[in-house]
Amino acid sequence: MRVAVLSVHTSPLAQPGTGDAGGMNVYVLQSALELARRGVEVEIFTRATTSSDAPVVRVAPGVLVRNVVAGPFEGLDKNDLPTQLCAFTAGVLRAEATHEPGYYDVVHSHYWLSGQVGWLARDRWAVPLVHTAHTLAAVKNASLAEGDRPEPPLRSVGEQQVVDEADRLIVNTEYEARELVSLHHAQRDRIDVVHPGVDLATFTPGDRAAARAVLGIPSGEPVVAFVGRIQPLKAPDVLLRAAAKLPGVRVVIAGGPSGNGLANPDGLVRLAADLGITDRVTFLPPQSRDRLVEVYRAADVVAVPSYAESFGLVAVEAQACGTPVVAAAVGGLPVAVRDGVTGTLVATHDADDWAAAIDGVLRRDPAEMSAAAHEHASGFSWAHTVEGLLRSYGHAITDYRSRHQRRDLPRRERRRLSIRRGVRA
């Protein structure tokens, strides 16, 4: 099997926690690597963002990343990218035209921008389109942080078009499936629920004191960590306000400004000063995977206070390291965290509620909750994720072929060959 994976707005090779890179980047790369281990060839198409990006990067045997030139390398916001979809699509089609007809078996698009490209590629290549939204504009707009900007109507329209056109839709949780049905009128029998995974060989429990020494964090204080992009949607300010009510608790924030957070890149630093807790807040830049493990191990608790979260990979990664999680009870986080067992879910974003929840976890028997967190996370592996992806791909291919009868194939093949000759010319 060969899969063309589309990730227009962010590269799987980008450092999570910077720009628009986050859980989706991890998902695309790790699932591709696991697919390749099972003999599936994966080509990931993404937009080149620097002149130094090689046109093709071989990440591992069976996994290629193609950096498509579409628009200026720098200075484009995610909301500007619809203007470059034509250029990106042309690059994808040209790459496919160098292969023999029928080279790819399926197209898997991630995020609505990629879905727009995948929709056209599906029709040109005569293969099914599988789409993963990751987030939905309607969901984000229904739970905006104070002062946050809503997603533009253009995105909502684009998402509806992709939902209508995709042969199969993959979601992270059953909750997300219900959202697709209720908000976008998707057919439930075209939706597959596939939980994201975690690299269980990398994210493992370890020595807390040693991890704090690596990061330069004092060893004698309770530590609550936040990992992710610094933007209103992720709500790191909620953690700071809660920490101000918890004397003696240190906060570690690992990540960089992103999205709407770029308008106020120093906002958290100023908030910490206004709250009088600067001396017990440690700011770290986005961390590599190896260093991120140390952040999770160094923390007594990891906080995920997002206003919207389709799943919450940070929560599962932290639990794989044996660290309990306090998370907002939104989106897929109730699946990622077992309330009262591996952490606590908080129904509001009120600082008093968050302070009480964090304090409650800190007072629990750390060994008991740590063991439960690690056991729970062990059920989320990329191997399990890829099993679900392969089932979905199989359903998509079978359904697509059944809808296109054999009598249509000669005409379709002639059309595809004529298209390829025209592109080559």
- Report CA 191 to chain centroid distance, whole Å: 18
**135 is annotated as contributing to ligand binding:** yes
Task: Please indicate if the annotation marks 287 as binding a ligand.
Answer: yes
The residues near 265 (Cβ < 8 Å, ≥ 6 apart) are 230, 257
Show Cβ contacts of residue 191 under 8 Å, excluding neighbours closer than 6 positions. Answer: 168, 169, 170, 171, 177, 180, 181
**Is there a binding annotation on residue 317?**
yes
- Contact predicate 319/338, CB 8 Å: no
21 is in an annotated binding site: yes
1 is in an annotated binding site: no
- What is the spatial distance between Cα 318 and Cα 302, in angstroms, rounded to a whole number? 7
At 98, phi and psi to the nearest 5? -80, -10
Residue 261 is labelled as binding a ligand? no
Does 176 show up as a binding residue in the annotation?
A: no
- Nearest CA to 118 out of 24, 3, 22 is that of 3
Query: Does the annotation list 111 as a binding residue?
Result: yes
Q: Is 9 annotated as a binding residue?
A: yes
> Is 16 marked as binding a ligand?
yes
115's tokens: 């879905």
Question: 297: annotated binding-site residue?
Answer: yes
Q: Is 23 annotated as a binding residue?
A: yes
75: left (phi over 0), alpha (psi -120 to 50) or beta: left
Whether 319 has a binding-site annotation, put simply, is no
Q: 352 a known binding residue?
A: no
Tell whether residue 25 is among the known ligand binding residues: yes
Tell me whether residue 20 is annotated as binding.
Answer: yes
Phi, psi for 107 (deg, rounded to 5):
-110, 130
For residue 58, the surrounding DSSP H or E stretch is: strand 56-60
User: Residues comprising the binding site for 1D-myo-inositol 3-phosphate?
Assistant: 9, 20-25, 78, 111, 135, 155
User: Residues comprising the binding site?
Assistant: 9, 15-16, 20-25, 78, 111, 135, 155, 229, 234, 287, 296-297, 299, 309, 317, 323
User: Residues comprising the binding site for UDP-N-acetyl-alpha-D-glucosamine?
Assistant: 15-16, 23, 229, 234, 287, 309, 317
User: Residues comprising the binding site for Mg(2+)?
Assistant: 296-297, 299, 323
